[in-house]
């Protein structure tokens, strides 16, 4: 990894929530593991008189909140490489100051560096910032053609299809598609990266990954946390936009796409874009059959809006208009203030001659990362009884290695210019096309908003009703994946 290209990472919003929770800890870990090049530099943009010591303090607090303590040598190294530029990003004239600072830093390292601009700021400011970066020629590396300028942006990429298109057009004025890295941190999670390898490197599964062998696929991303103070953001966004439009449709694409011609970024994106374009949104008159929305019962009070109809739980059933997946329902569910934090994909394998028998393959993305296959075997003994068992591969137990956090991977990939784990503009647009009809239907308020108890599994009955044609229920609370503390295997309910 020492071959990472030297770069200056400029962070807009260095004291913001994202920088505190994800970005700065990721930088600390990369520095600690000596993965950053010696000439790597960090520039923090702030207009609050922030100092380098303030940033180091944020890092210390963040690392200690994860139960670890900071290593002094790493902090000392970070202190040397961080510069703070005090500027108001809404004032165009102040960008020349930024350019001047970047030039000084480059001169001091004696080499030409890639310029990475990380916009950890509200998306409403993206256009203004990129416009100014362009006008100052910061959308080019310090020697045109030798080094590159790259732009990293965080979701939400728009609020709906029209605003997503507008954002894409605005950014294109200053940065090319090649330069734009749209972060979807779920793609950088280790188990998500394993989906394609697992699917295409194992003939047992690659040859049976279709409608003949698969009854249905379930994707769950449940969270125990509520909205954690992000009132303004969340009350306008809701669960469908927050997780399904981005992370979970990206996962669906990886699970259902065709084998790419090559496992390179271009071909993987081509295959993902192709499958996302084939995902059918529910027909306007079918949204109440195909979708469920809910809200946790303390939500309205938390956001101080007793009329809020923002969903904190969303479940959808989708179909894909592609011969391989004809008639196979894809279920996606997400919610906040639920019983457990779980992100997983479960693929139900069927035997058309014995529909009551299903084998579940679960790819657990977090926590307890692993892959588990539920099998049915003869229970040892004199009688012919059937028992459910699990064959598992658990990252922690089996590999005994820790894997990089998603944001470490994001930063490493942008430094090496690898766009595989970032979303393309076509993927973003295709995902909006899928969810927009649901957004319209939900706005009309014709569909019930189920209020569910905090720490429950959400509106269980309607959510399970979506699955009534198949197994009849979501399985997260039944399957126990890679849980080392579980004393015995849990029996799956077969319908
Ligand atoms: C973000 C959402 O993209 O992902 C948050 O905006 C959500 O609402 C978060 O809590 C979940 O990420 P993770 O990595 O904790 O599963």
- Predicted local confidence at residue 490, as pLDDT: 44
Cα gap 247→78, rounded to integer Å: 31
* Cβ–ligand 1 contact at 405 (below 6 Å): no
Q: Rounded to the nearest 5°, which phi and psi values hold at 192?
A: -65, -40
- Predicted local confidence at residue 477, as pLDDT: 54
Cα gap 246→258, rounded to integer Å: 20
- Predicted local confidence at residue 270, as pLDDT: 97
What are the tokens at 406?
């998603």
- Chain Cα centroid distance, residue 283: 27
What string of pLDDT tens digits covers the 495 residues of the chain? 556 888 999 999 999 989 999 999 999 999 999 999 999 999 999 988 899 999 999 999 999 988 888 999 999 999 999 999 999 999 999 999 999 999 999 889 888 899 999 999 998 999 999 999 999 999 988 766 678 999 999 998 999 999 999 999 999 999 999 999 999 999 999 899 999 999 999 999 999 999 999 999 999 999 999 999 899 999 999 999 999 999 999 999 999 999 999 999 999 999 999 999 999 999 888 888 999 999 999 999 999 999 999 999 999 999 999 999 999 999 999 999 999 999 999 999 998 888 778 899 999 998 888 999 999 899 999 999 988 888 888 887 555 556 788 999 999 999 999 999 999 999 999 999 999 999 999 988 789 999 999 999 999 999 999 999 897 788 765 556 776 544 444 444 443
Helices (H), 23-160: 24-32, 52-65, 72-81, 95-109, 126-135
Closest by CA position to 273, among listed 428, 455, 402:
428
* Cβ–ligand 1 contact at 106 (below 6 Å): no
Which of ligand 1's atoms lies nearest the C-alpha of 234?
Answer: 8
State the pTM of this model.
0.93
Provide the terminal-to-terminal Cα distance of the chain, rounded to the nearest Å: 50
Gyration radius (Cα) of the chain, Å: 24
Which of ligand 1's atoms lies nearest the C-alpha of 341?
Answer: 16
Which of ligand 1's atoms lies nearest the C-alpha of 189?
Answer: 14
Q: Which amino acids are annotated catalytic?
A: 247
- Predicted local confidence at residue 5, as pLDDT: 85
* Cβ–ligand 1 contact at 223 (below 6 Å): yes
* Cβ–ligand 1 contact at 242 (below 6 Å): yes
Measured CA to CA in angstroms, residue 61 lies from 73, 74, 259 at distances of 17, 15, 44
- Predicted local confidence at residue 67, as pLDDT: 85
CA of 222 to the centre of ligand 1 (A): 10
CA of 19 to the centre of ligand 1 (A): 14
Residues 6+ apart with CB under 8 A from 492: 360, 374, 388, 475, 478, 479
Closest by CA position to 417, among listed 115, 136, 108, 58:
115
Is the distance from CB of 206 to CB of 212 less than 8 angstroms?
no
Our mutation pick for probing the ligand 1 site, out of 189, 243, 248, counting the most ligand atoms within 8 A of Cβ, is 243
- What is the widest separation between alpha-carbon atoms in the chain? 84
CA of 263 to the centre of ligand 1 (A): 27
Closest by CA position to 436, among listed 342, 352, 316:
316
């Amino acid at each position: 990894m020492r071959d990472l290209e030297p770069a200056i990472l400029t962070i807009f919003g260095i004291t913001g929530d994202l920088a505190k929770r994800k970005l700065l800890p990721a930088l600390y870990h990369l520095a600690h593991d000596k993965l950053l090049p010696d000439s790597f530099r960090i520039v923090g943009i702030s207009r609050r008189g922030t100092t380098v010591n303030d940033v180091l303090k944020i890092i210390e607090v963040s690392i200690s909140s994860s139960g670890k303590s900071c290593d002094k040598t790493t902090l000392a190294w970070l202190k040397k490489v961080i510069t703070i530029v005090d500027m108001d990003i809404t004032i165009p004239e102040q960008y020349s100051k930024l350019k001047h600072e970047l030039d000084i830093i480059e001169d001091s390292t004696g080499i030409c560096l890639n310029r990475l601009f990380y916009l950890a700021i509200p998306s409403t400011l993206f256009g203004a910032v990129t416009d100014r970066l362009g006008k100052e020629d910061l959308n080019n590396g310090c020697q045109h053609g030798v080094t590159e300028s790259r732009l990293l942006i965080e979701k939400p990429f728009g609020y709906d299809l029209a605003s997503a298109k507008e954002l894409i057009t605005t950014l294109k004025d200053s940065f090319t598609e090649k330069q734009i890295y749209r972060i979807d941190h779920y793609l950088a999670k280790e188990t998500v990266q394993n989906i394609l390898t697992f699917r295409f490197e194992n003939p047992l599964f690659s040859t049976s990954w279709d409608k003949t062998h698969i009854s249905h696929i379930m994707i769950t991303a449940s969270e125990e946390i509520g909205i954690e103070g992000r009132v303004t953001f969340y009350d306008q966004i809701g669960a469908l936009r927050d997780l399904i439009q981005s992370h979970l449709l990206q996962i669906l694409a990886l699970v259902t796409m065709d084998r790419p011609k090559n496992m390179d970024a271009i071909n993987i994106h081509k295959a993902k874009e192709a499958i996302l374009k084939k995902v059918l949104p529910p027909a306007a008159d079918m949204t109440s059959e195909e979708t469920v929305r809910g809200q946790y019962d303390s939500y309205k009070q938390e956001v101080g809006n007793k009329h809020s109809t923002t969903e904190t739980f969303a479940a959808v059933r989708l179909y894909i208009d592609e011969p391989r997946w004809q008639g196979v329902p894809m279920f996606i569910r997400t919610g906040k203030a639920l019983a457990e934090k779980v992100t997983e994909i479960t693929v139900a394998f069927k035997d058309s001659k014995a529909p009551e028998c299903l084998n579940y393959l679960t790819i657990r993305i977090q926590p307890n990362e692993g892959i588990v296959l539920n099998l049915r075997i003869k229970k040892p003994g004199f009688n012919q009884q059937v028992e459910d068992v699990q064959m598992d591969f658990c990252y922690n137990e089996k590999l005994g290695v820790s894997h990089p956090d998603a944001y470490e991977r994001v930063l490493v990939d942008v430094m090496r210019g690898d766009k595989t784990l970032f979303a393309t503009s076509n993927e973003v647009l295709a995902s909006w096309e899928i969810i927009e009809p649901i957004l319209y239907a939900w706005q009309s308020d014709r569909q019930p908003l189920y209020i569910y108890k905090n720490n429950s599994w959400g509106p269980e009955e309607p959510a399970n009703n979506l699955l009534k044609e198949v197994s009849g229920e979501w399985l997260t609370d039944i399957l126990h994946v890679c849980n080392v503390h579980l004393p015995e295997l849990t029996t799956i309910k077969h319908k």
